[in-house]
Structure 1
């Protein structure tokens, strides 16, 4: 009898040990993405409210919620041309619950050494979600120039007198400098600061034209306050067909600025499984009919590129920008 009881006890101990090992093994093989996301995700935008990063980031994040099943809490953390917000994300916990939504301004910061980070090396890039091919040279409807032909003619006769609003160190700054080189004229580049200040300066005729995305200025145009001078593209926009493409003025050196990209990124050490799950939701949004319709109204093309493809695309833009960096000047 004692032998039988001892045998039963040994069997029970063995079974307990086996189930314990199985449970431990299951825990070890569980992916950190299995329960992701289990709480709201913080999305940092390094630019102020009302700009294209803010507008696009909020709309895209709103659509992400239905595919992730969690709220995306969007916050604007401004300063140093987007670098303050980027740095906050890089210093956050790499657990998938803090992400950056930004645009090609982050690449400019990398090229200029602003913010002490490298877009391609320091972030785990989830992907590019949208391209805006509708960069517009826009003037005041009551300004001193009727169209871009007048701007160029006047600038050739009066170097440094045509005033262009920029934010020093931004892509708009680089675009303005390359536009000077491509047209052979000299503008007066005025540091108006962020998009809101830039629009206020144009509205009050403190500047003669600005370089902005169509989504930023469409309401001003509809209200009869602003008018388009030219699209930075080799073809006209179907939504605003009366505005000529920049190539119609014989300007062929602006191709690098045709496609502004928008992207999400996480701290570098964020588990790849989590980033991939977030990216899968991005892809679904890019194919979502409601999201596509909402972005189309802004002139923005939803186009998903996964991490590696995004890096290749951004590297191409970087290599295109680099030869022009020495043109930056006030």
Structure 2
């Protein structure tokens, strides 16, 4: 029986290797890009998603000799941008730059019936590992253990600022579930709005990119409780992971590059290859440090697996997200 299994496994691996080689050959042969490529970003200019898209576009031009034209289409939780790309010609000249907040949260929350599977996913171009759970000084919360103790003693006494039905909302729901606590979820608006709300004492807690609160943590107006990463992001200084504090919580936000369904697989593969080359450029890594972000990359099949697992993890919060959206 073991001999049959090994033979089958070897045959499968040979088959996969052959497919990979054929795919690489196809990508090398395809004539793409032949003109400027439009990348549609689901967020307004200036934020982390836009920054990652524009940095990708800069080095895409350096590698391919063709430009990437960044178009920002915010609104509808990212559905407006997704609809534009979904309806575009599948000729490789229109790309969606997005993240699970649009691709998966909207599906789970019932905002759209579409899922990431309506696109041809090329790769994960980067992963935001800069988020920290941070508490305001006025909240009196000084550590993650303190937060858990206060929340259990008085359920709902800690106000968590979020954008209801968004990725940060899922982060709060995950924290509740894995700590067996109850937070008071409040729609605090955008990241900048939530920072102001915490400084003013209206919000106690948030999951916010470290770069947006670093000065306030250094100044004592806020306390960084922990980063929800598998391992410490060294760009966040001495902020411990939640896992170091006994909480098995990781909440990465990957940036996804996808094409309209039906795009030539050779083009999809070539885009994935170009992005991998971009991540190997030292100057690219230096630029990402502006947003406290290390270099990360996942190819097509790995990206699909990550998105499938993310959807599975998020689906447990379907009822809460759908209630928040209504």
Normalised by the length of structure 1, the TM-score is: 0.79
Select 2:154's aligned residue among 154, 158, 176: 158
Residues 52 and 216, structure 1, Cα contact 8 Å, conserved in 2: no
Number of positions where the alignment pairs a residue of Structure 1 with one of Structure 2:
297
1:114 alignment partner in structure 2? 111
Mapped partners of 1:224, 1:65: distance in 2: 42
SS of match in other structure, 1:128 = strand
Flag structure 1 segments of 5+ consecutive residues without an equivalent: 1-30
Distance 1:148 1:308, change over 3 A: closer
Q: Which residue of 1 aligns with 2:254?
A: 261
* TM-aligned CA distance change 1:200 to 1:50, over 3 Å: farther
Which of 291, 302, 306 is 1:313 aligned to?
A: 306
Pairing 1:189-268 to 2, within 5 Å after superposition: 189-218=185-214, 221=217, 226-233=222-229, 235-252=231-248, 254-255=249-250, 257=251, 259-268=252-261
Shift of 1:223: 6.5
Tell me what 2:178 maps to.
Answer: 182
Q: Aligned residue for 1:283?
A: 276
Q: 1:73-92 counterparts in 2 under 5 A?
A: 73-92=69-88
Residue 267 of structure 2 corresponds to 274
83-92 or 228-237, larger mean C-alpha shift = 228-237
Give the distance between the partners of 2:148 and 2:176, measured in 1 at CA.
10
Match for residue 143 of structure 2 among 138, 147, 154: 147
Instruction: Rate the CA distance shift 1:151–1:309 in 2: closer, same or farther, 3 A.
Output: closer
Distance 1:304-1:242 versus aligned 2 partners, 3 A rule: closer
Contact preservation (8 Å) 1:51, 1:195? no
Conserved 8 A contact 1:64-1:281:
yes
Q: CA deviation at 1:233?
A: 3.3
- Determine if contact 1:50/1:196 at 8 Å carries over to the other structure: no
Q: Partner residue of 2:100? A: 104
Instruction: Tell me how far 1:99 sits from its aligned partner.
Output: 0.9
Uncovered stretches (5+) of structure 2, i.e. residues with no partner: 1-26
> Which of the pair has more CA radius of gyration?
1
Q: RMSD across aligned C-alpha pairs, in angstroms?
A: 2.8
Q: 1:61-72 maps to which residues of 2 (within 5 A)?
A: 61-72=57-68
Offset at residue 265 of structure 1 (A): 0.7
Structure-2 separation of matches of 1:147 and 1:56: 31
